[in-house]
């Protein structure tokens, strides 16, 4: 059973109190009007009847079936004993039957209780109708509808009573069922709203986590590449500073340039991660607009690697059928950057490297190979980042030692979807 709120509990108490006062007023007026004539019961029974009708309604949502049975039984005995009150009883019965349909969680019991009450009332009504129809003529009270004719006033009054009772009980049943369905829908909507809110919070948390991963990956790619390059250059400068000061100054100039490039790329990264704000709502200015690297920037990586002591060649094979998306281009650039950084770290002093970009009608492929040692062993954050970039681009990546020595990184990204999107 649904948990009652304080407001619902108070409203049921108020309803019971209002019905009790209204029932007493109706009983007084009915007794004075003499609705049952000489057969009318004592007024004290009317007071007791009104109390039995109204007090259980204060608990109608707690025990709907029990309250409905009590109210219906009280109404049956009151009419049978000619208790001078009718209207409050009708209202109480409607509310009780409605409440069974609206608030009973056991739907089978709710159906049985309501069906039993309705069938019992109609059976009792038919019995009364039969008694009135077979009443001896000399016992017919004054003012009783005439039974003369095929469609007499008596028949009309009985048909009217049947129709009113059908509408009465049918309305109580229908509105109770409708209220129950609406409450179920409202509960389901509230649960769905709560689920959506929880999903929204989870999605927001996941977005933050993914953004952190992205930032960490970008920082790793930028910082690791340039710090590694500056480390190699510093080692070269230290080894030649005594015998070749000019060469040492040249290498130190390279370190300075690598530091500037690293700071510039970090600034570009921050600009890319930050949503640009403009005072007038227009486009950001060209000097502060975020920039990203692409395939056209790979030759600069090759030149840096060669200058840092890793002789590297570069080749482009084929022509692109369509321009790869910016996301694919920056991911391929970062993968090439990480592969060359790992080669400088682990391949050894005599190693060489080769970078190739291949295009065909449906794919773009990046291949970075190097000679020398086969790597450092266990994969680190750099390799994880390369796999993530390949997956984000919708492609596949192959990494591992080559049989003839050295290391291979090959990324293949399909461009079919891009071609279809431009069709």
The pLDDT of residue 405: 85
Instruction: For residue 285, give the nearest of 295, 297, 271, 298 by alpha carbon.
Output: 271
Q: How far apart are CA 405 and CA 348, in angstroms?
A: 12
In 3-state terms, the chain is what percent helix, strand and coil (to 5)? 65, 10, 25
Phi, psi of 289 (to 5 degrees): -65, 140
Range 212-273 classified under CATH 1.20.5.1930:
yes
Please state the pTM of the whole predicted model: 0.49
Helices then strands, each counted (H, E), the chain: 11, 5
Query: Where do the H-state alpha helices sit in 241-290?
Result: 245-273
Instruction: For residue 365, give the nearest of 316, 325, 403 by alpha carbon.
Output: 316
So where are the chain's domains? 6-136+152-195, 212-273, 295-414
DSSP helix/strand/coil, 158: helix
The pLDDT of residue 290: 43
To the nearest 10°, the Cα dihedral for 163, 169, 171, 177?
-150
Assigned CATH for 295-414? 3.30.565.10
The pLDDT of residue 50: 92
* Identical topology for domains 212-273 and 295-414: no
Crossing angle of helices 245-273 and 153-240, in 10° steps, is: 170
Instruction: For residue 221, give the nearest of 312, 398, 340 by alpha carbon.
Output: 340
Tokens of 70: 């009590």
Model pLDDT for residues 272-317, shown as the tens digit of each residue = 555 544 444 444 444 444 446 789 989 998 998 888 888 999 999 9
Q: How far apart are CA 229 and CA 345, in angstroms?
A: 9
Q: How far apart are CA 382 and CA 17, in angstroms?
A: 76
Ramachandran sector of residue 407 (left: φ over 0; alpha: ψ -120 to 50; beta: rest): beta
The pLDDT of residue 158: 72
- Residue 370 per-residue DSSP state: E
Q: Positive or negative, the Cα torsion across 242, 248, 249, 252?
A: negative
Instruction: Give the pLDDT means over successive 10-residue stretches in the chain (423 positions).
Output: 80 93 90 80 89 92 92 89 86 91 88 90 81 66 62 74 83 88 87 87 76 68 64 70 74 70 64 51 44 81 86 92 84 89 84 93 92 67 83 89 89 69 38
Q: What is the DSSP string of 64-131?
A: HHHHHHHHHHHHHHHHHTT-S--HHHHHHHHHHHHHHHHH-S-HHHHHHHHHHHHHHHHHHHHHHHHH
Which of 46-76 are b and which e, b meaning 16 or more Cβ less than 10 Å from the residue's Cβ? Answer: bbebbebbbebbbbbbebbbebbbbbbebbb
Element (H, E) at 6: helix 6-33
The pLDDT of residue 86: 82
């Amino acid at each position: 059973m649904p948990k009652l709120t304080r407001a619902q509990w108070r409203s049921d108490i108020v309803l019971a109190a209002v019905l009790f006062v209204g029932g007493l007023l109706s009983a007084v007026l009915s007794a004075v009007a003499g609705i049952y004539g000489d057969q009318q019961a004592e007024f004290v029974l009317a007071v007791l009847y009104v109390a039995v009708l109204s007090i259980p309604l204060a608990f109608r949502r707690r025990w709907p079936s029990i309250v409905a049975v009590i109210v219906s039984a009280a109404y049956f005995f009151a009419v049978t004993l000619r208790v001078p009150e009718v209207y409050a009883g009708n209202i109480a019965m409607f509310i009780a039957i409605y409440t069974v349909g609206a608030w009973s969680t056991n739907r089978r019991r709710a159906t049985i209780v309501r069906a039993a009450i309705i069938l019992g009332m109609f059976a009792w009504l038919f019995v009364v109708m039969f008694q009135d129809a077979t009443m001896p003529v000399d016992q017919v009270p004054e003012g009783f509808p005439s039974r003369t004719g095929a469609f007499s006033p008596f028949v009309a009054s009985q048909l009217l009573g049947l129709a009113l009772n059908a509408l009465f009980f049918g309305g109580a049943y229908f509105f109770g069922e409708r209220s129950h369905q609406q409450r179920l829908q409202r509960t389901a909507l509230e649960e769905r709203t709560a689920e959506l809110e929880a999903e929204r919070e989870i999605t927001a948390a996941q977005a933050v986590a993914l953004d952190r991963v992205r930032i960490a990956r970008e920082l790793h790619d930028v910082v690791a590449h340039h710090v590694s390059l500056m480390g190699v250059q510093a080692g070269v400068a230290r080894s030649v500073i005594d015998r070749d000061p000019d060469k040492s100054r040249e290498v130190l100039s390279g370190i300075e340039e690598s530091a500037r490039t690293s700071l510039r790329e970090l600034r570009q990264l921050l600009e890319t991660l930050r949503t640009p704000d403009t005072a007038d709502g227009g486009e950001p200015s060209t000097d502060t607009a975020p920039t990203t690297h692409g395939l056209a920037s790979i030759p600069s990586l090759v030149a840096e690697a060669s200058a840092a002591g890793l002789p590297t060649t570069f080749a482009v094979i084929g022509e692109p059928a369509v321009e790869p998306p910016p996301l694919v281009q920056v991911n391929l650039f970062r993968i090439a950057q990480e592969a060359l950084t790992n080669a400088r770290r682990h391949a050894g002093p005599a190693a060489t490297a080769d970078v190739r970009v291949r295009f065909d009608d449906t794919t773009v492929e990046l291949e970075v190979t190097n000679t020398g040692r086969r790597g450092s062993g266990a994969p680190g954050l750099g390799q994880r980042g390369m796999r993530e970039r390949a997956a984000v681009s919708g492609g596949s990546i192959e990494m591992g030692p080559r049989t003839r020595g050295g290391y291979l990184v090959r990324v293949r990204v399909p461009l079919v979807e891009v071609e279809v999107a431009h069709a």
